[in-house]
């Protein structure tokens, strides 16, 4: 089997295309579905004619989640580059291509998506512009197929192209030592921990004893699954799920690798590095970097012996924490802050782990020391200056270097600084609390900052700023004021569901009549159903129920109302309040708040007595 990976700019239609090809929506998370945006890797099983199959890894296009894209990128051997014909090649199209040229991609197919939105003439122009923009990248001259995930146009052609490409690829090396970078960890009731990843080389069988590196934990593999089917053994090139009951789910994470006895974690790597031309001026003799190897993301320093040029050069990569690496393994480097892609390459040799002096300046040591003392109590630059006995301008400058190295985190409003180690420890405590809360109250959206602050013994003002920093990095989710573990989706109990179904029911004869909001809240208050209040919040937060003025509608009612209004306005151009009432067969009491709601949502625009459509929604 081989791995097909998507790449391309945000919203260009990667996930929609994967869903159209496989029937699986790769956006697994609630937050992804709410925002219509991929945040983390998604997976799907592609089955083509003649029994050809492949694993698909779908990546997020948004630059904020590039670290997640990178965790899946190493496993791709066929690249499915997705470009929206309406927008053409965009920044993350280029960035993804820059990243993938350093990794294991062997063949590229370009899918031009959303062709249903363009005329034949426009399509001709777009086609040429895109081909021109792809010159000089790994997608130059690649087979290009025009598709629409909405109409299905071109999908058969794309399937054929994928089948030909997959059939022509040689198998990956199954005789090499086992190397399976872990990209997902979860626990199943009755089974225990399951890890998934792309089997890069080697093979794994049920019953094998494997090691997680660099942590060094060992476990027997109870069972091996490939896309939901149990297998006795699996060879390189496949997506794999391993049930490893001997390992606690919290003891492994993305970034570790499942290996045989040959490999262990390394920190000192001799590498061949090629800089991106645009990054040459950012490289110094010692450059702090984020290194991406397999599914791991680690901090380190790139050491160059010569002035960087655009050719491949010998260099050394010294990592803060060990990762599994061996000659031939590929990597990508990013600058720490701002996150700019520097280049990448492959490992040439590894060294016995040597202690590396971190080369910190006295000012850096003093500031890091002051912050470490303060724990998570954020310090302003002025306070750090006093504690470290340094001039404030020196502190400000040095903090930049420490932030860039990942040793210090900047909080906002007001700006202050915390030591990264303390922040990480606090993050671990927050995630543990969130997971416990999700277990106890699976119907709730999550925790508020007040609740988290109380549970973790932090002042609320500080907790809010730390939580904002974590959410900004995508380590936890913030969904309309509720914090949650990123992969958590709330689910009501059958009792709760039944209760709300009855409470907010739709009358088939009068489908647009709402329920008074007050009535519902007092019924919820009186209900003898555990968790009814939080379940109600969840329904509101997810748009299953929608409050309009003093009334409560089902989301499905509002969707129908909106569709009718849009249809009417597309036809008639404008609409009066009484036309709106007739359209829905509803009374003034309900119509006025509904119209105001539609205005506030940016669906309609009010001018005098009329409403018009604010913009064509697609
Ligand atoms: N008209 C039209 N719209 C499309 C097509 N494919 C996707 N879309 C729409 O484009 C939007 C983005 O689609 P996604 O598949 O989520 O895009 P994506 O590339 O996965 O986005 P990220 O993962 O966030 O980078 C959605 O609203 C889709 O419905 C298409 O072929 N035609
Ligand atoms: Mg997507």
Give the pLDDT band (50/70/90) at residue 618: very low
Per DSSP (E only), the strands in 336-480 are: 341-350, 408-411, 416-419, 477-479
Work out the widest C-alpha separation in the chain, in whole angstroms: 80
Element (H, E) at 56: strand 53-58
pLDDT at 357 over 50: no
pLDDT of residue 351: 65
More confident call, 615 vs 215: 215
Ligand 1 atom with the smallest distance to the CA of 60 is 23
What's the burial of 503, exposed, middle or buried (CB within 10 Å: 0-12/13-18/19+)? middle
pLDDT at 358 over 60: no
The answer to whether 88 and 129 are in contact (CB under 8 A) is yes
pLDDT at 355 over 60: no
Ligand 1 neighbours by CB, cut-off 6 Å:
8, 10-16, 36-38, 60-62, 113-114, 116-117, 148-150
Q: Tens digit of pLDDT for each residue in 554-613? A: 988 899 999 999 999 989 899 999 999 999 888 888 999 999 999 988 889 998 889 998
> DSSP states of 456-486 as a string?
HT--HHHHHHHHHHHHHTTSSEEETTEEE-T
What is the residue with the minimal CA distance to atom 9 of ligand 1? 13
Is the peptide bond between 214 and the residue preceding it cis, with omega within 30 degrees of 0? Answer: yes
Indicate the top mutation candidate among 5, 6, 10, 11 to test ligand 1's pocket, ranked by most ligand atoms within 8 A of CB.
11
Give the pLDDT band (50/70/90) at residue 352: low
Per DSSP (E only), the strands in 165-228 are: 179-188, 192-198, 203-205, 209-213, 217-220, 223-226
What is the residue with the minimal CA distance to atom 3 of ligand 1? 114
Query: Distance between terminal CA atoms of the chain?
Result: 37
- Rounded-to-integer distance, Cα 56 and Cα 113, Å: 17
DSSP-assigned letter for residue 221 = -
Residues with CB under 5 A from ligand 2 (ion): 14-15, 38
- Nearest by Cα to 333 from 259, 389, 283: 283
pLDDT of residue 356: 43
pLDDT of residue 118: 93
What is the residue with the minimal CA distance to atom 32 of ligand 1? 114
Mean model confidence pLDDT for the chain: 90
Helices (H) and strands (E) counted in the chain, each on its own, are 18, 31
DSSP-assigned letter for residue 172 = P
The answer to whether 61 and 83 are in contact (CB under 8 A) is no
139 CA distance to ligand 1 middle (Å): 21
36 CA distance to ligand 1 middle (Å): 8
Ligand 1 atom with the smallest distance to the CA of 92 is 25
Main-chain phi, psi angles of 565, to 5 degrees: -65, -45
43 CA distance to ligand 2 middle (Å): 11
pLDDT at 373 over 50: yes
596 CA distance to ligand 1 middle (Å): 30
pLDDT at 354 over 60: no
428 CA distance to ligand 2 middle (Å): 28
Ligand 1 atom with the smallest distance to the CA of 18 is 15
pTM above 0.85, yes or no: no
Task: Tokens for 498, please give them.
Answer: 């039944």
Closest ligand to the CA of 84: 1
pLDDT at 617 over 50: no
């Amino acid at each position: 089997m081989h791995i097909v990976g998507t790449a391309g700019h945000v919203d260009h239609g990667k996930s929609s295309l994967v869903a159209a090809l496989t029937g699986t929506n790769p956006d697994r998370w609630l937050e992804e579905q709410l925002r219509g945006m991929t945040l983390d890797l998604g997976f799907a099983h592609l089955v083509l004619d003649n029994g050809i199959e492949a694993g698909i890894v779908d990546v997020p296009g948004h630059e904020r989640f590039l670290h997640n894209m990178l965790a899946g990128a190493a496993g791709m051997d066929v690249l499915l580059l997705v470009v929206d014909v309406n927008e053409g090649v965009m920044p993350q199209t280029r960035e993804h291509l820059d990243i993938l040229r350093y990794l294991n991609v062997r063949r590229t197919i370009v899918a031009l998506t959303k062709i249903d939105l363009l005329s034949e003439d426009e399509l001709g122009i777009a086609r040429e512009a895109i081909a021109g923009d792809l010159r000089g990248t790994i997608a130059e001259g690649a087979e290009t197929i025009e598709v629409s995930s909405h109409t299905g146009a071109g999908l058969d052609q794309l399937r054929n192209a994928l089948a030909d490409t997959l059939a022509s690829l040689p198998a990956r090396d199954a005789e090499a030592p086992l190397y399976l970078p872990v990209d997902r960890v979860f626990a199943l009731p009755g089974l225990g921990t399951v890890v998934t990843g792309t089997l890069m080389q080697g093979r794994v069988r049920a019953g094998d004893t494997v090691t997680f590196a660099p942590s060094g934990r060992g476990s027997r593999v109870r069972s091996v699954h490939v896309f939901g089917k149990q297998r006795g053994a699996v060879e390189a090139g496949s997506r794999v799920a391993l049930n490893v009951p001997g390992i606690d789910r919290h003891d492994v994470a993305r970034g570790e690798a499942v290996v045989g006895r040959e490999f262990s974690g390394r920190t000192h790597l001799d590498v061949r590095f090629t800089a991106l031309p645009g990054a040459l001026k950012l490289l110094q003799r010692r450059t702090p970097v984020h290194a991406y190897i397999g599914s791991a993301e680690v901090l380190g320093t790139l050491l160059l012996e010569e002035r960087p040029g655009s050719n491949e050069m010998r260099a050394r990569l010294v990592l803060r924490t060990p990762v599994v690496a061996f000659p031939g393994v590929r990597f990508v480097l990013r600058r720490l802050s701002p996150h700019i892609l520097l280049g990448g390459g492959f490992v040439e040799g590894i060294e016995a782990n040597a202690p590396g002096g971190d080369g910190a300046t006295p000012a850096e040591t003093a500031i890091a020391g002051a912050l470490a003392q303060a724990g998570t109590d954020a310090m302003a630059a002025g306070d750090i200056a006093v504690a470290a006995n340094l001039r404030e301008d020196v502190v400000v400058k040095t903090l930049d270097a420490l932030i860039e190295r990942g040793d210090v985190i900047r909080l906002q409003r007001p700006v202050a600084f915390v030591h990264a180690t303390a922040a990480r420890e606090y993050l671990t405590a927050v995630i543990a609390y969130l997971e416990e809360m999700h277990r106890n109250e699976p119907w709730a959206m999550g925790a508020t900052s007040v609740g988290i602050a109380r549970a973790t013994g932090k002042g609320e003002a500080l907790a809010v700023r730390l939580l904002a920093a974590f959410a900004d990095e995508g380590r936890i989710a913030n969904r309309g004021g509720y914090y949650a573990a990123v992969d958590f989706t709330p689910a009501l109990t059958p009792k709760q569901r039944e209760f709300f179904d009855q409470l907010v029911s739709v009358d088939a004869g009068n489908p647009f009549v709402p329920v008074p909001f007050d009535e519902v809240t007092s019924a919820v208050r009186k209900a003898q159903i555990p968790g009814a209040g939080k379940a109600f919040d969840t329904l509101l937060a997810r748009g299953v129920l929608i409050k309009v003025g003093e009334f409560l509608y089902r989301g499905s009612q509002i969707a129908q109302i909106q569709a009718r209004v849009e249809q009417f306005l597309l036809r008639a151009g404008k609409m009066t309040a009484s036309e709106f009432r007739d359209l829905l067969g509803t009374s003034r009491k309900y119509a006025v708040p509904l119209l105001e709601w539609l205005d506030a949502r940016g669906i309609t625009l009010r001018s005098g007595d009329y409403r018009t459509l604010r913009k064509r929604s697609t």
